[in-house]
Every structure is written in structure tokens, then in C-alpha cells.
RNA sequence: GCGGAUGUGGUGAAAUUGGUAUACACGCUAGACUUAGGAUCUAGUGCUUCACGGCGUGGAGGUUCGAGUCCUCUCAUCCGCACCA
């Protein structure tokens, strides 16, 4: 019988499904492994990226299951989000119907890959039962002041008709549709992730060596911690009067307190309240006011590209140390969202300040030695023109100046972060409703927990215009949970990243408890952290930062115990490429997983995916290499005829021929390598290569016992990668004993050789090869080595002889 | 600019602690079997040279008996952040 993948694969998929083969056990005394691939968005069809992601995770899960671990390997659906609404707009399908029918289709696709997921723990994040508990967390966060509502400038995507978080703006454009993001003032809900900035940063240390260094670096940069001095500039009396005494001054933040004596002007962001006040009261020329407003309205991209621009505001402040009067400008390079939206400017020691001061002819004063006239000097040196601090090294002056300000009560050392709070409001329908109510008399009120979930209305019109929940005639009408009066429900829904921030805890919670709680502490305590998380690098900041934050927040809110980090080990898989470019529908360079499985079977698809490149690297698609993977499986399958008995034989090593010994060595080398591969390096490509080598070596000999042992071990090793064919061969040949009996012992005797082949090098260059008895002495080996290369020794003296045991001889000659 | 990575045959890629560079696979060449071959099997395949040999892991140095691997400098490519005061 030749290899027929479709018969074999459907047979085993049925068996696995009927026996519930992959459900984790309730017994918490067992050693556990939690293997998690990032859950998919139900877009409609699987793509090759999914195949890769789940093949990697499945290999790990199956490996640990076979090693006797209690394995949690769940799957679910990240099911809320814009595409469901786009389908409604374009094809008139209800988002809910679209989503659940996509899930049904994709579930079949996953099952055709033979993935060993727990079925009982599957859920979609749009299930009302999931929404219910998520809303409870949100309410708790509100009560604990971790969530608040505020009106502020937000990133708005007109295409998606919604607000975006900072993390969702890429190059000034929407992460989903690439439309340019506009700034807009509007109310929204925020999670105070900044409260956890330090912990999120510090705990990255726990992940060193466990997460890719790139991801750690990206998160660290994103949090962007910097230490410095915060102090305020007071307005001169004239300026105070001009502002009708509404402002005494403003705060600035600097990481260069050592240059404070070099401040020659200050600059405010165009959106700064003081600038707004000046414009409101017509204290600036109309045309200048207009230009300042235009500066503030520029998109982030425009502003980043724009030349430095600014205007003298006609105000002055007093330098806190020198009492000098200094002009106040507004400048487009000052960001309102960072450091109070105001800076002290030291053109002599800051590139930006220098560029600006040069353009507008502002004064400059060098306060650190070492620079050249006519440029900004940002290096180290000694302080000059700095009063009592002259002569001090600037590195020391940083601390000294902070101390000086603190002693005089003028300012203090502080820490600043680039990280901004997470805006979670979305003005869309297909999301989890934010469970709050607006009451005329009580204000913003959280819904009562017993009323959860606040579910979406089914009868909704989705046109792409405006917020469908807001447009719904009756949905938002409700009673105030506090006073009972008529009130309005919040129509914003939660960012979909909220759902993916806690799904790892939901999977860990026994499904029998899903009705009674969102997260079960004990279950989470047993299963978490996730031993191996697998997904794309595109989530390096967004999802992985949010999920880390949620873990810490849920712990502090008492929903989970003592867990620091959700994902202990992270593997970021490379992209799947075709002709050097990322596969995408728009480029038309995709490979359809269904067609691939149809033609070659799931085992070939999985084998190719893991063989063509290590999982961390990009994977270049290659049709003939897929054929090659298929060819190998056909060959493997056909060799079953070589096996007669059905047990792992006990082989007398000393009676074997050379080829038989080589075959054994190759088989056991692969077995040895597998531990490192499955537990540490994930270089499945090298394990597969090892199995191919072993099979090639087996083909060069005829001993039935060697064949039996070889296939017993090879099918054992490959089962996590190509489970169907291995299950089939194992059942047929070995009554499945090699897949259920735990570890196979590595026999050291196999590696003992009677003769050893050694390379012979002269001055480090390989010149010959010799074969010596295993127990040959060093002198014997050296003598043999010399005999093998007479022409290289002619007329030379051997000055040094180096023997590297079992590897080579190096003779140094002169 | 800051941060992170990666450079090995025609291609995807291997190579514990420094120890015979290019395993495995694809492709290619030749042959066998075949009505046929886009099936299967066998052999060959880093570059160069008639040959002995020489040269080969982006480049240049260095350490070493010996370097893809360690050190210094440098070039190229990719990714992330980016006027963060």
C-alpha cells in the first residue's frame, strides 16, 4: 500500500476527536506545560502564517504530552473587530453571523491540520459569557481608579470611524487601514497603564533570555523612562498682568540639569494652555495666532517632517537661578504630551534648540567646556559660566543641580515616561460594550455587576456612517443603576486588545466554572505562566505590553494570585514569504493551506513548514521543497515493509557490520538531538534533517532489527511534527508503544566505535584522513598521522603535535 | 540619530566548549528503468587549476597549534522607535 495521506489523516483526526485525546487533566499534582499559540482573528480562512504558528505550537504540545506532562494547548477566537463590520457594510452580513460562520469554517481548517487543541476550552471573545466577565473587570478597574474617563486630544481614524490607542498608530497612520490619523478632542475611557510603567520596565529583566532581545528592547524603548529635573519658570510681573494673573508660570522637565545655566529661552507646545489663553484673548497678532493653530493641527507625520517653526509669545520668565529675564516662545517641536508640553532651551548643548535659536537669532551661552563656537556640543566636559558650579564635571553636575533646586525648593528630581495611558474607547459596534451609564444627576455610573453582560443589540444597522450603537433608537435607554432615573448607556465599545489581554487566564480556568467566574485563581495558579508562547513579532508592543499590564492589574485587583508575568517564554516566528515578499491577498502571492493539504496532506504541510527554516526566521515558500517533504514521507511510509517484529529490539552491538553500526549511530544521534530541539532551540529543521540522515543510513543496510529499532525511534521523534503518518506507522508496526511508553533510552554503547576516523592537519590545514583503533595511544596516532602525509613533512621539523580526541591531529611544522 | 538583529555554495540552510566548513533538502548534470516523465532509482555537484596545488563563511586586522565561532575596526541589509527636551 502506498502512502495515502488523506485516508490516514482523516482516520486519525476522527480517532482523536472521538476520544478527546487532547484534553488536559484535572489532576493538579501532575507536572504541567502550558503551550499557547496566539489565537487567530476569524477572518474567514487560514493563511500560511497560521499554519506555521500552530505547527510550531503543536509540535511542542505533542512533545510534552508524550513526555508525560499535563499539557494545556488551547485555541479560541479573537473575534471582535472592524473587519466584521466592514463585511456588514460591504456584503450586508450581520457581524455576528459573519464572525461565527467564519469560526465554523476555520475550525474545520485547523482540524484538518491535525492540531492537538483542547476542544472543551475553545471560546470566542465575542461570546456573551466572555463579555460578561470582561465587563466585571472593567467595572472593578473603574472602582479602583485604574480606569477613568477624560476628554482629551485623541488619534482619530476617519476611515475606521474610531479612536486609536498610541500603540495603534504606525507612522502616523491607522494600524489597520493605513489611513492618516487625525487629532481630535473627545471624551474617552483610559486605563492607567502608566501606573505600572516602572513594574513593566523592571520585570523585563525576568524575561531576559526567555523573550527575544528585540522584543525586550522595543518594550523598554516604548516605556521610555528617563530621569531628570522638573522645575517651574515664573512669569515676570509684566507677563503675569498680561495673562490677567491666570498663570504664575509653567513647569518644564529636563534630562540635562547640568546645562541649566545655559538656558536662553523657553518654548511651549502650540497646544499648551498658556498659548491657548493668549490666542483666546487676542494677545497675539491674528496672523501669528492662525499660524500657531495650524502648527497644532498638523498630523504627527506632517509635524515630524516639518522644519522647525515657532513664534515669540511676547512673554518673559525669570530664570530661577540667575534671575535673568528670558523670552517665551512657542515651537512646533515641543510635544504637548510629554514633560508638561514645555521645555527649557539650551541651544549651545542641544541640537534642536540650536537649530531653532539659529533660525530665529536667539542668544546662546556655552556652559560646558569642550564644544566649538557655532555648534551644539552634546558631549561631556566641565561646567563654565555656571556660577558656583564652574569646574565641576557635567556628569556630576546633573545630581548637584537637582540637589540645588531641591534645597531651594525650586524643583525636584523626577522620572518621566514616554508611555501614555491606554485609550480603550472605540466608537464601533462590533466590540464589548463599555458597561457604564450616564445619568443627569449621578454622572458617570458603573453598571451593576448582576446586570452583566451588557450585550450588543442584534437589530442594528451598519452603514459605515457614525457609531451604530449611538444611532440605535432604543438601545442606549436605561435606568441609572444608582438612582433609577432615566439614563443613557455608554455607546463606546472596548478596544479588541482588551479581550486578548486576559484570554490566557480564561483558557486556564476549568470550563465547568466558566458560568460562575471569569478567572479561577487556583486554576490560574496551576497553569500559569504560559510555558511557551508563540506568535508574530508584530505584537511586540501592542498585545504583549497590554497583556503584561493586565496581568499585573488583575493581580492587584485580586483576580489572580502572585503572578508577575503571563508569558514565561516567547518565540516570535518569522513571516512566511513568497519571492521575498510577505504573502498577502493584495499582492496575490498567497498559498492556500486548504489546497496544500488537499494535494499533499497535513503532514507534508507541517513538515515543510518546520523543515525549511528555523521557526524564528523568515520562511521562503518553495513549491519544489514541499515536494521534497512529501517525497520523504512517502519514503518513510514505504519502509514499513522492512519491519517484522513489533517491539524495540535488544541488539548485540558487537555483532554488527560497519553499515549497521553507522545506521544505529545516526538514529541515536537524532534521538539525542531531539531533547535540545524540543525543549530549548526549537530548531526543528535540524531534527528533521537528523531523521532524514538516519533513514538514509538505514537504507544502506539490511538488518531487520536495526530497521525495527530505527523506525521505532524515528516515528517517535517525528510524531510531534507529522502526527498522522507516525501514529499510523506506530500503530501498524509497534502497537503504538513508541508513542505511549514515555522516553526512549539513549544507549551509550551505540556511540562506542572500534575505529575512529581522524583528520590530519599540517599547520591547521587539513591534508589527510586516518583511521585508527579506538583505544590507540596518542603516540600511535601521531605516528600514523605522520605516515599519512610524508610529502608535507619532507625537509621540515615537527615542532608541536596536537591531538584532539576523536576529531583530528594537528602537526605544526617549520 | 537611538535600539535590536542578520551576512556561509546556484537556493533554503547545518556546524556542543574554538577542532576535518557546507550536514539535510531544493536545484542542476549524467545515467538506469520506462510508450512517456513533471514518477522512481543510481552517481556527481563550493570556486579555481591540465595537474601538484591554491582560494574559500560580507571586508580589514588581531589572539591561537587551529577561528564561521573569540577580540578590534569596517561595510551592507533588514526590523523597531524617532523633535521624548
The pLDDT tens digits of the residues spanning A727-738 come to: 999 999 999 999
**Which residue has its C-alpha nearest to nucleotide B82's C1'?**
A304
CA of A122 to C1' of B1 (A): 47
Helix (H, G, I), strand (E, B) or coil at A601: coil
Minimum-distance residue to B20 (CA–C1')? A759
pLDDT of residue A329: 97
Strands A619-620 and A576-578: parallel
Confidence of residue A162 (pLDDT cuts 50, 70, 90): confident
- Banded pLDDT at A604 (limits 50, 70, 90): very high
The nt closest to A616 (CA vs C1′) is B5
Query: First-to-last CA distance in chain A?
Result: 64
Q: DSSP letters of A44-78?
A: SS--HHHHHHHHHHHHHHHHHHHTT-EEE-B--B-
Whose CA is nearest the C1' atom of nucleotide B15?
A: A686
Q: Report the alpha-carbon distance of residue A253 to residue A133 in Å, rounded.
A: 41
> Nearest-CA residue to the C1' of B66?
A764
- Tell whether omega for the bond before A655 is within 30 degrees of 0, i.e. cis: no
Tens of pLDDT, residue by residue over A481-516, are 999 999 999 999 999 999 999 999 999 999 999 999
Helix, strand, coil percentages in chain A from 3-state DSSP, rounded to 5: 45, 20, 35
How confident is the model at residue A581, as a pLDDT? 81
pLDDT of res. A788: 84
pLDDT number for residue A710: 96
Burial class (CB in 10 A: 0-12, 13-18, 19+), A616: middle
- Residues A226, A797: Cα–Cα separation, whole Å: 64
β-bridge pairing A532-536 and A32-37: parallel
pLDDT score, position A59: 97
Write out the three cell numbers for A319: 530664570
pLDDT value at residue A180: 84
Query: Which protein residue has its CA closest to C1' of B1?
Result: A351
Look at residue A289 and tell me whether its pLDDT is greater than 80. Answer: yes
**Per-residue pLDDT reduced to its tens digit, A320-334:** 999 999 999 999 999
Q: How many CA atoms lie within 13 A of A446 on its CB side?
A: 18
How many Å from the CA of A240 to C1' of B12? 71
The secondary structure element, H or E, covering residue A325 is: strand A325-331
Cell numbers that stand for A686 in this block:
535540524
Residue A58: how many other CB atoms lie within 10 Å: 26
What is the CA A11 to C1' B20 distance in angstroms? Answer: 48
Q: Find the nucleotide nearest A757 (Cα to C1′).
A: B20
> What confidence category does residue A160 fall into, taking pLDDT thresholds of 50, 70 and 90?
confident
- The whole-angstrom separation of Cα A119 and Cα A642 is 38
pLDDT tens digits for A548-580? 999 999 999 999 999 999 999 999 999 998 887
Closest CA to the C1' of B2: that residue is A221
Stated in angstroms, how far is A220 CA from B80 C1'?
11
Mean pLDDT over A412-429 rounds to 93
CATH superfamily of A5-124+500-582: HUPs (3.40.50.620)
Q: Which residue is nearest to nucleotide B5 (CA to C1')?
A: A214
Rounded to whole angstroms, how far apart are CA atoms A567 and A532? 7
Q: What is the pLDDT at residue A72?
A: 98
- The yes or no reply on domain A643-750 and CATH 1.10.730.10 is yes
For residue A774, what are the contacts with CB-CB under 8 A and spacing of at least 6? A752, A753, A754, A755, A756
Phi, psi of A331 (to 5 degrees): -140, 145
Phi–psi pair at A147, nearest 5 degrees = -125, 135
Closest to A544 measured CA to CA, from A212, A55, A144 = A212
Distance A707 CA to B72 C1' (A): 53
Candidates A483, A473, A494, A498; CA nearest to A448 is: A483
Nucleotide nearest to A336 (CA to C1'): B84
Output the distance from A339 CA to B74 C1' rounded to whole Å: 39
A740-747 mean pLDDT: 91
Nearest nt to the A267 alpha carbon by C1': B85
Nucleotide nearest the Cα atom of A307 (by C1'): B83
Question: In sequence order, what are the beta bridge partners of A34?
Answer: A72
Q: Predicted confidence band at A652 (pLDDT cuts at 50, 70, 90)?
A: very high
Q: What's the rounded Cα separation, in Å, for the pair A420 and A169?
A: 13
pLDDT at A40: 96
Which position has the grid cell 443589540? Answer: A457
Q: What percent of chain A has pLDDT over 90?
A: 79
Give A724 CA → B78 C1' in Å: 37
Q: C-alpha cell of A491?
A: 455607546
Give A584's pLDDT tier (boundaries 50, 70, 90): confident
Do the Cβ atoms of A229 and A412 come closer than 8 Å?
A: yes
Say if residue A183's pLDDT is above 90.
no
The total of other beta-carbon atoms located within 10 Å of residue A468's CB is 25
DSSP state of A678: I
Q: Domain coordinates of chain A in residue numbers?
A: 5-124+500-582, 134-192+421-496, 226-416, 643-750, 753-813
Q: In this predicted model, what pLDDT tens digit does every residue of A678-707 receive, in sequence order?
A: 999 999 999 999 999 999 999 999 999 999
Smallest CA-to-CA distance from A703 within A662, A660, A734, A668 is with A660
The answer to whether residues A548 and A200 touch, using CB atoms and an 8 Å cutoff, is yes
> A48, A126, A123: which is closest to A83 by C-alpha?
A126
Report the nucleotide nearest the CA of residue A344, measured to C1'.
Answer: B85
Nucleotide nearest to A257 (CA to C1'): B85
pLDDT digits (tens, 9 = 90+) for A94-122: 999 999 999 999 999 999 999 999 999 99
What homologous superfamily does CATH list for A226-416? Valyl/Leucyl/Isoleucyl-tRNA synthetase, editing domain (3.90.740.10)
Average pLDDT over residues A436-453: 96
By C1' distance from the Cα of A345, the closest nucleotide is: B85
For residue A82, what are the β-bridge partners? none
- Torsion sign across C-alpha atoms A609, A598, A76, A494: positive
C-alpha grid cell, residue A539: 505584537
pLDDT band (50, 70, 90) for residue A473: very high
Query: Å from A763 (CA) to B67 (C1')?
Result: 14
Residue A660 CA distance to nucleotide B51 C1' (Å): 38
Q: List the A14 CA – B25 C1' distance (angstroms).
A: 32
Rounded, the Å distance between the CA of A629 and C1' of B36 is: 25
Q: Which nucleotide is nearest to A167 (CA to C1')?
A: B81
**Contacts made by residues A774-780, CB under 8 angstroms, sequence distance 24+:** A778/A803
- Asked if the model's pLDDT at residue A54 lies above 90, the reply is yes
Task: Say if strands A808-813 and A755-762 run parallel, antiparallel, or are unpaired.
Answer: parallel
Secondary structure string (H, E, C) spanning A339-359: HHHEEEECCCCCHHHHHHHHH
Residue A407, Cβ density class (10 Å: 0-12 exposed, 13-18 middle, ≥19 buried): exposed
Q: How far is the CA of A582 from the C1' of B5 (A)?
A: 19
In this prediction, residue A228 has a pLDDT band, given cuts at 50, 70 and 90, of: very high
Q: What pLDDT does residue A215 have?
A: 94
Neighbours of A653 (CB within 10 A): 13
> So what's the ipTM on this one?
0.95
Would you state the cell numbers that stand for residue A307, as one nine-digit string? 522644519
List the A47 CA – B1 C1' distance (angstroms).
38
CA A730 – C1' B74 distance (Å)? 55
Tell me the pLDDT of chain A averaged across its residues. Answer: 93
Other C-beta atoms within 10 Å of A109: how many?
A: 17
Q: What is the pLDDT of residues A322-381, one digit of tens each?
A: 999 999 999 999 999 898 999 999 999 999 999 999 999 999 999 999 888 888 998 889
Residue A303 has φ and ψ, to the nearest 5°, of: -70, -35
CB A387 within 8 A of CB A321: yes
Residue position matching grid coordinates 477624560: A150
pLDDT band (50, 70, 90) for residue A520 = very high
Q: Protein footprint on strand B: which nucleotides are under 7 Å from a CB?
A: 2-5, 11-15, 19-21, 23-27, 39-42, 53-55, 65-67, 79-85
Q: Give strand letter and number of the nucleotide nearest A259 (CA to C1').
A: B85
Minimum-distance residue to B67 (CA–C1') = A764
Q: Are A383 and A258 in contact (CB under 8 A)?
A: yes
Instruction: Specify burial of residue A655 (Cβ count, 10 A radius: 0-12, 13-18, 19+).
Output: exposed
Q: How far is the CA of A556 from the C1' of B20 (A)?
A: 59
The dotted CATH code for A753-813 is: 3.10.20.590
- Nearest DNA or RNA nucleotide to A764 (CA to C1'): B66
Domains A5-124+500-582 and A753-813 share a fold: no
Amino acid at each position: 500500500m502506498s502512502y495515502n495521506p488523506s485516508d490516514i489523516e482523516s482516520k486519525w483526526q476522527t480517532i482523536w476527536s472521538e476520544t478527546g485525546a487532547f484534553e488536559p487533566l484535572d489532576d493538579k499534582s501532575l507536572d504541567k506545560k502550558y503551550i499557547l499559540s496566539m489565537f487567530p482573528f476569524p477572518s474567514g480562512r487560514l493563511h500560511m502564517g497560521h499554519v506555521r504558528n500552530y505547527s510550531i505550537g503543536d509540535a511542542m504540545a505533542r512533545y510534552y504530552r508524550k513526555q508525560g506532562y499535563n499539557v494545556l494547548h488551547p485555541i479560541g477566537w479573537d473575534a471582535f473587530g472592524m473587519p466584521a463590520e466592514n463585511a456588514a457594510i460591504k456584503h450586508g452580513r450581520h457581524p455576528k453571523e459573519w464572525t461565527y460562520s467564519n469560526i465554523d469554517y476555520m475550525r474545520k481548517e485547523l482540524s484538518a491540520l491535525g492540531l492537538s487543541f483542547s476542544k472543551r476550552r475553545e471560546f470566542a471573545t465575542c461570546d456573551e459569557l466572555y463579555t460578561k466577565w470582561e465587563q466585571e473587570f472593567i467595572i472593578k478597574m473603574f472602582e479602583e481608579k485604574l480606569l477613568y474617563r477624560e476628554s482629551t486630544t485623541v488619534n482619530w481614524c476617519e476611515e475606521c470611524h474610531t479612536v486609536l490607542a498610541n500603540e495603534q498608530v504606525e507612522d502616523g497612520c491607522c494600524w489597520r487601514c493605513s489611513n492618516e490619523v487625525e487629532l481630535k478632542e473627545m471624551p474617552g475611557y483610559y486605563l492607567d497603564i502608566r501606573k505600572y510603567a516602572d513594574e513593566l520596565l523592571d520585570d523585563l529583566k525576568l524575561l531576559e533570555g526567555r523573550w527575544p532581545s528585540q522584543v525586550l528592547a522595543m518594550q523598554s524603548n516604548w516605556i521610555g523612562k528617563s530621569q531628570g529635573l522638573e522645575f517651574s519658570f515664573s512669569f515676570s510681573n509684566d507677563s503675569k498682568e498680561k495673562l490677567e494673573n491666570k498663570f504664575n508660570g509653567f513647569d518644564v522637565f529636563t534630562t540635562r540639569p547640568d546645562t541649566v545655566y545655559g538656558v536662553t529661552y523657553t518654548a511651549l507646545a502650540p497646544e499648551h494652555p498658556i498659548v491657548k489663553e493668549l490666542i483666546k484673548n487676542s494677545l497675539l497678532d491674528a496672523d501669528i495666532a492662525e499660524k500657531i493653530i495650524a502648527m497644532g493641527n498638523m498630523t504627527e507625520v506632517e509635524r515630524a517632517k516639518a522644519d522647525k517653526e515657532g513664534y515669540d509669545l511676547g512673554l518673559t520668565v525669570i530664570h530661577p537661578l540667575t534671575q535673568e529675564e528670558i523670552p517665551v516662545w512657542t515651537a512646533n517641536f515641543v510635544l504637548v504630551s510629554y514633560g508638561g508640553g514645555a521645555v527649557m532651551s539650551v541651544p549651545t548643548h542641544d541640537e534642536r534648540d540650536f537649530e531653532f535659536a539659529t533660525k530665529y537669532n536667539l542668544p546662546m551661552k556655552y556652559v560646558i567646556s569642550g564644544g566649538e563656537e557655532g555648534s551644539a556640543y552634546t558631549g561631556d566636559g566641565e561646567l563654565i559660566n555656571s556660577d558656583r558650579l564652574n569646574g565641576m564635571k557635567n556628569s556630576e553636575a546633573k545630581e548637584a543641580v537637582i540637589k540645588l533646586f531641591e534645597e531651594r525648593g525650586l524643583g525636584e528630581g523626577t522620572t518621566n515616561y514616554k508611555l501614555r495611558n491606554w485609550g480603550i474607547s472605540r466608537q464601533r459596534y462590533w466590540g464589548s460594550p463599555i458597561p457604564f451609564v450616564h445619568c443627569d444627576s449621578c454622572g458617570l455610573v458603573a453598571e451593576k455587576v448582576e446586570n452583566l453582560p451588557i450585550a450588543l443589540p442584534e437589530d442594528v444597522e451598519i452603514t459605515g456612517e457614525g457609531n451604530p450603537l449611538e444611532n440605535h433608537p432604543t438601545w442606549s435607554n436605561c435606568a441609572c443603576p444608582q438612582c433609577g432615573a432615566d439614563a443613557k448607556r455608554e455607546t463606546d465599545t472596548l478596544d479588541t486588545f482588551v479581550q486578548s489581554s486576559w484570554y490566557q487566564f480564561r483558557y486556564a480556568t476549568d470550563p465547568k466554572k466558566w458560568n460562575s467566574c471569569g478567572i479561577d485563581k487556583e486554576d490560574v495558579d496551576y497553569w500559569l505562566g504560559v510555558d511557551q508562547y508563540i506568535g508574530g513579532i508584530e505584537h511586540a508592543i501592542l498585545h504583549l505590553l497590554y497583556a503584561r499590564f493586565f496581568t499585573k492589574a488583575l493581580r492587584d485587583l485580586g483576580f489572580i494570585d502572585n503572578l508577575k508575568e503571563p508569558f514565561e517564554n516567547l518565540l516570535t516566528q518569522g513571516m512566511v514569504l513568497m519571492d521575498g515578499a510577505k504573502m498577502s491577498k493584495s499582492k496575490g502571492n498567497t498559498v492556500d493551506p486548504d489546497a496544500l493539504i488537499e494535494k499533499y496532506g497535513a503532514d507534508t504541510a507541517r513538515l515543510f513548514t518546520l523543515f525549511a527554516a528555523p521557526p524564528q526566521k523568515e520562511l521562503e515558500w518553495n513549491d519544489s521543497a514541499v515536494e521534497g517533504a512529501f517525497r520523504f514521507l512517502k519514503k518513510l511510509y514505504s519502509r514499513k515493509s522492512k519491519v517484522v517484529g513489533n517491539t524495540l529490539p535488544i541488539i548485540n552491538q558487537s555483532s554488527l557490520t560497519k553499515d549497521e553500526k553507522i545506521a544505529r549511530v545516526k538514529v541515536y544521534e537524532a534521538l539525542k538531538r531531539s531533547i535540545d530541539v524540543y525543549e530549548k532551540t526549537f530548531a526543528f529543521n535540524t531534527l528533521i534533517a537528523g531523521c532524514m540522515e538516519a533513514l538514509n543510513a538505514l537504507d544502506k543496510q539490511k538488518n531487520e532489527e536495526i530497521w525495527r529499532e530505527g523506525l521505532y525511534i524515528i516515528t517517535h521523534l517525528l510524531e510531534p511534527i507529522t502526527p498522522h503518518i507516525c501514529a499510523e506507522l506506530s500503530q501498524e508496526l509497534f502497537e503504538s508503544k513508541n508513542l505511549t511508553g514515555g522516553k526512549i533510552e539513549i544507549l551509550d554503547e551505540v556511540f562506542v566505535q572500534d575505529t575512529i576516523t581522524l583528520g590530519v592537519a599540517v599547520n591547521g590545514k587539513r591534508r589527510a584522513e586516518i583511521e585508527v583503533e579506538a583505544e590507540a595511544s596518542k603516540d600511535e596516532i601521531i605516528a600514523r598521522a605522520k605516515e599519512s602525509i610524508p610529502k608535507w613533512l619532507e625537509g621540515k621539523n615537527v615542532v608541536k603535535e596536537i591531538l584532539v580526541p576523536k576529531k583530528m591531529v594537528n602537526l605544526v611544522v617549520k
